[in-house]
Amino acid sequence: MNTEKRAVVLACVTLQFDCDRIIKIAKQIADDTDCDLRVLSVLEPTHDYTEAAWQIEYLNMVSKQFGADMTVLFDKNADHAAAEFAKKNNVVRIVTGLHDGGKESFLVGFNILLPEMPLTMVAKDNMVYSMDVCKVCS
pLDDT tens column, 90-133: 999 999 998 776 777 888 899 999 999 999 999 999 999 998 87
For 15, 32, 38, 67, 118, the CA distances from 86, given in Å and listed in that order, are 19, 20, 10, 19, 12
Q: Which of 126, 24, 10 is nearest to 66 (CA)?
A: 24
| This prediction's pTM | 0.89
pLDDT tens column, 27-65: 999 999 999 999 999 998 866 778 788 999 999 999 999
Sheet holding 69-74, edge to edge: 69-74, 36-43, 8-12, 91-97, 119-122, 128-131
Question: If DSSP codes are grouped into helix, strand and coil, which group holds residue 85?
Answer: helix
Q: Which of 47, 29, 46 is nearest to 38 (CA)?
A: 29
